[in-house]
Structure 1
Amino acid sequence: MINKFIYLIMVFFLFLVSLILLTSCNSYDKKSALHGLSKINSIQIHKESPPTSFFQDLSLPVSIPKGEFSMVIGWLNDEEFVYMTRFSEGANLYRYSLKSGSSRILYESENPIVSTLISPDQTKILIHSSPSTYEGQMNIIDIDGEELFAKEFPSVEMVFEWNQYQSEQLFITAFKEDWSFTNYFLNMSKMELKEIGVRKPFAKWTGESKMAFLDWNEEDISLLSPLIQKEFGKEEVLLKENVFQFDTFLGKILTITVDSIENQATYQFYSENVVEQVSFKTPVLSSYSGWLLPNYEMTSDQETFLTMVPLKSGDADTYREGFQFISVNTESGEKDVILESTDNVPFTCSPNKSLCLMGYQFETLFNIQTKTMSSLFR
């Protein structure tokens, strides 16, 4: 029997590979990109909206300077995002302005780009490329394209986690061919990289010097695990039992547990000091890896949690009823429906919550104020 750790690693990277395959497509059908994203019921995200002129002046579609569109990486601010193109020699990253319609080159890579990650404060971009099968290259640039840090790692795959409390810090996991791994801590302000005593991969920051991780029992087939917190230089602390998935945000911890009898998932928010805050329940879909958890995102002000929710429980492979796109106020628990019926596609929204990039390549721009969808690229 495959031990549980290897199984979970395989599930994670099967998902990663499928996402890369989807995002590496060099062309897409505009109608398909917009399919399933058009039935809109109510939009009630409570924040001051930009003036109407802001939306009228958006410059689309994007004209690509070189190569073919691969994917949008994410937002830099309310008006600019980063996108990637691919060509035979490698890949490029560009910074695009929705106001001016201009693309500015940020990074040119001679090797395939595996993944990219914008820092939580939106001032830096991490680029993970692959010079060879057993080597990973990490480059960190600022949003003007200046290189800040570069390092090669012996690895077949890598995972990165920015510290949202200290934007100069990173948690890095490098996997070898047998899925053994080494965890590293990068402090860019000191230009210091060292191995770190966190005993599991996929750890996330819960404070300036604290991380949390799921403590999988490698011999147990259960998909529920204890959530452990490790403060550097101190003993581990149990935060919660029987957690299926968790995430962390600035000042908040999210745990997701599943009741397999009631077929419900519970999303529970905690403060940084692990005091219970808002919680809500959703139907859950079963999948080959246990349960399918739809896409979600916390807005940059930490006040609004956005997620897709299935209309009822069932089997993920045969479920066809669609998803609601909802917002949850993390202080009051108030829920609003953004899209009444949509597909469970990835999304990421601008800091002012007026625009969302949607789709497997973030190729569709959803305007919350005007309730319209636009294709970013021809």
Structure 2
Amino acid sequence: MWKRSIILLVLLIALVGCSGESKEKKEAIPLTIEPIDETAESIGRLLGFVSNESLAYVTEKEDRFQLIEANIRKGTKRLVYETEDPIVEAWIHPLRSHYVVHIAREGEEQLQLVDEEGRVERHVPIEASEVYVAPHPSDPLRLAFTLFSSDWTYDVFVYDGDERFTKFIGSPFPFPKWDGDELIGISERQVGEETTLLRYDREEERVMPLSKRPILDTVVKGSDRVDVVVERDEFVYYVNEERAWTSPLVTSFGEPFVLPFEKVEEGWVAIRAHEPHALEEEDASYELILVTNEGEQQLADDWALQMKVHCASRPLHCLAGASYERVWSPDGERTWTSE
């Protein structure tokens, strides 16, 4: 009996060891990058990953503006959309099957809803100095958007592509975000006041608070919502109201400045400051971390300050550098554009 128990224990240890080795081998798969035929200088605006292999960006070629998808694993490019009108900005839809493209057509600006084959399925006339867009998470023909005037007053609208109808809403937050079919957002910051998370009830056309604590920012990705708050002079990140990770406080001209983070298959990738500082300080340094249910892991100790994190999975890799000119992975960094 004891002999059999010992044999079973040895076999169990061996199986666990093999499982660990397999996991290590899976995580150690090298990332192959084939640079595309495009210089970093010619990329006007990087949009981010549309798949684990491909990036989307906007460029200008011979007085024509192009939306390109580039497979950085194979070194190939695909023209998605082309226009003579300047592309002011573009956004990848959360489904990664559509784009929202802001074009400046002579006499009229438009938000165009473009599918992955470059077909313009809808267009929304707009007039504004600046535009903020929040595509609906599951409906590529619906979006919320904010039009800012030159004095930074704003109006918020919801466009329903099925009904082809644009509705003005009396929103108290300038940057609405979708949480399912509901619009949520951070209240407009006033001098001496704290911001909080609000929900806009479109049927009753009224606003209700979602949190009792002051919240600086919120990000919704799928079924997860991350709320960022300040506690004891540090940022605290709550995922679905559970404390997930912290970061030293960063400010810009005396106001809290939330560093970017992004959801990946493995968890959340975030830029974190090594110590509290103001953005105006030149000697500040940052790291890149991965946060999972098991805890956090440092991916890179020296990371450039970026306004957005662009990462993909299988294996995990992120765009590195202040201009996103390199691809970082656990086995090193390499460029994805031509020299």
Q: What is the TM-score with the length of structure 1 in the denominator? A: 0.74
2:225 is aligned with 1:253: yes
1:265 to 228, 235, 239: 235
* Structure 2 contact 34–336 (Cα < 8 Å) conserved: no
Larger radius of gyration: 2
Matched, 1:244 2:216: yes
Q: Note closer, same or farther for the CA distance 1:326–1:177 as it changes in structure 2 (3 Å cut).
A: same
CA separation of 1:353 and 1:201: change in aligned 2, threshold 3 A: farther
> Which one of 310, 318, 336 corresponds to residue 273 of structure 2?
310
Please state how far the C-alpha of 1:161 moved relative to its aligned partner: 0.4
Partner of 1:115: 89
Aligned equivalents of 1:135 and 1:50: distance in 2? 51
Q: 2:114 maps to what in 1? A: 141
CA distance in 2: counterparts of 1:315 and 1:214, whole angstroms: 23
* Partner residue in 2 for 1:230: 200
Q: Which of 312, 328, 337 is the matching residue for 1:350?
A: 312
What's 1:156 paired with? 129
Maintained 8 Å contact 2:304/2:320: no
1:325 is aligned to 2:314: no
Q: 1:363 to 1:169 in 2, by over 3 A?
A: same
What letter corresponds to residue 252 of structure 1 in structure 2? D
CA contact (8 A) 1:227 1:243 kept: yes
Indicate conservation of the 8 Å contact 1:265/1:283, yes or no: yes
Distance 2:144 2:54 in 1: 27
User: Deviations for 1:285-331, whole angstroms, at most 9, x for unmatched residues?
Assistant: 222150232221122x4x511111111112322252411100111xx
- Output aligned runs, 1:1-378, within 5 Å: 52=30, 55-56=31-32, 58-60=33-35, 62-64=36-38, 68-87=42-61, 89-131=63-105, 135-208=108-181, 210-216=182-188, 220-222=190-192, 224-234=194-204, 235-240=206-211, 241-259=213-231, 262-270=232-240, 276-288=241-253, 290-299=255-264, 301=265, 304-318=267-281, 320-329=283-292, 332=293, 334-345=295-306, 346-352=308-314, 354-368=316-330, 370-378=331-339
Q: Distance in 2 between matches of 1:334 and 1:69?
A: 36
The residue number in structure 2 matching 1:18 is none
Cα gap change, 1:216 to 1:198, in 2 (>3 Å) = closer
Seen in structure 2, the aligned counterparts of structure 1 residues 47 and 155 have a Cα distance that, compared at 3 Å, is: farther
Alignment check: 8 A CA contact 2:93 2:99 kept? yes
Segments of structure 1 that go 5 or more residues without pairing to the other structure are 1-44, 271-275
Partners of 2:140 and 2:223 in 1: CA distance:
14
What letter is aligned with 2:34?
S
1:49 and 1:186 map into 2 onto residues whose CA distance is 43
Cα pair distance change 1:307/1:373, threshold 3 Å: same
Amino acid at match of 2:137: Q
Q: Distance in 2 between matches of 1:285 and 1:123?
A: 35
Q: Is contact 1:135-1:156 (8 Å) kept?
A: no
Question: How far apart, in 1, do the equivalents of 2:47 and 2:28 lie?
Answer: 23
TM-score (norm 2): 0.82
Change in CA separation of 1:114 and 1:185 when aligned onto 2, cut-off 3 Å = same
Deviation at 1:76, TM superposition (A): 1.8
Q: Aligned letter for 2:278?
A: D
Greater length-normalized contact order (CA 8 Å, ≥ 6 residues apart): 1
Over aligned residue pairs, what C-alpha RMSD do you find? 2.8
Runs of 5+ unmatched residues, structure 2? 1-22
Deviation at 1:51, TM superposition (A): 5.4
2:110–2:123 contact (8 Å) kept in structure 1: yes
1:95 touches 1:104 (CA, 8 Å); kept in 2?
Answer: yes
Identity between Structure 1 and Structure 2 (%): 16
Letter in 2 for 1:334: G
Identify if the C-alpha distance between structure 1 residues 289 and 106 changes in structure 2 by more than 3 Å, giving closer, same or farther: farther
Equivalent position amino acid for 1:313 in 2 = P
Residues 46 and 78 of structure 1: is their aligned pair in 2 closer, same or farther, counting only changes over 3 Å? farther
Q: Counterpart of 1:195 in 2: which secondary structure?
A: strand
Rate the CA distance shift 1:353–1:344 in 2: closer, same or farther, 3 A.
farther
The structural deviation recorded for 1:375 is 4.2
Q: State the Cα distance separating 1:360 from its structure 2 match.
A: 4.3
Query: Matched residues in 2 for 1:103 and 1:97: separation?
Result: 6
Residue identity matched to 1:71: R
